[in-house]
Amino acid sequence: MFFFPGPARSRICRHGALFDSFVPSVLFLSHFLPDPPVLSQMNSLCSLMLGSNGIWGELADLSEEDIGLFANTISKYKRVRDSVNESYPKAKGCIGSSPEIYDKIQYAKAEGLICFFTKAGGEFTYVTDPMDTGRISGVDGADAWEITAAGRLKVTVVLKDNEARPVFIFGK
């Protein structure tokens, strides 16, 4: 479980995010594997962005596509990382459930990250708390999104079994 690609390592190592209100998750160091396939990489990337901040493995052995996936995802994360680190996670579902969703949004800035994880595939929708939606400059990673009349962001993703996906909310 700890040395092979797949969602199990990320599930176990994600527990640190649950203690974020007591000990900031960025102070935990859990190492996530960058190894393919993409399903494993996205589980690692999403878990990594919730805190923990460690990558462990043979980075030099990654293909150009793997490096591109990491570079693209991390560059988006860098745009929202301060807001992510300043916010406490709101969790829906427990680790290993379908869905397991983490909202790390700085609501005052309308900026942050929503990470979706699932064991069993399907279509999953998450509705944020109210925010100043006029401050949102874009949403990346959702299959569909809309702003509700109540000033909430409604995000929908379609995931396969054991998939994970980040949805970035960019503020102005």
**Residues facing 122 on adjacent strands:** 159
**Topology given in CATH for the domain delimited by 90-171:** Immunoglobulin-like (2.60.40)
- The pLDDT of residue 19 is 65
Tens digits of per-residue pLDDT, 69-93?
999 999 999 999 999 988 888 989 8
In the chain, % helix, strand, coil (3-state, to 5) comes to 35, 30, 35
Tens digits of per-residue pLDDT, 29-56?
676 778 889 998 998 899 889 887 778 7
Statement: residue 4 has pLDDT above 60: no
**Per-residue confidence band for 58, with pLDDT thresholds at 50, 70 and 90:** confident
The mean per-residue pLDDT over the stretch 136-146 comes to 98
**Per-residue confidence band for 1, with pLDDT thresholds at 50, 70 and 90:** very low
Higher-pLDDT residue of 5 and 149 is: 149
Residue among 143, 136, 141, 146 at smallest CA distance from 170: 136
Higher-pLDDT residue of 51 and 62 is: 62
129 with 154: CB under 8 angstroms? no
Statement: residue 106 has pLDDT above 70: yes
- Mean pLDDT taken over the chain: 87
**Residues facing 80 on adjacent strands:** none
Domain ranges of the chain: 7-81, 90-171
pTM: 0.88
Helix (H) or strand (E) holding 27: none
Structure tokens at 78: 């860098």
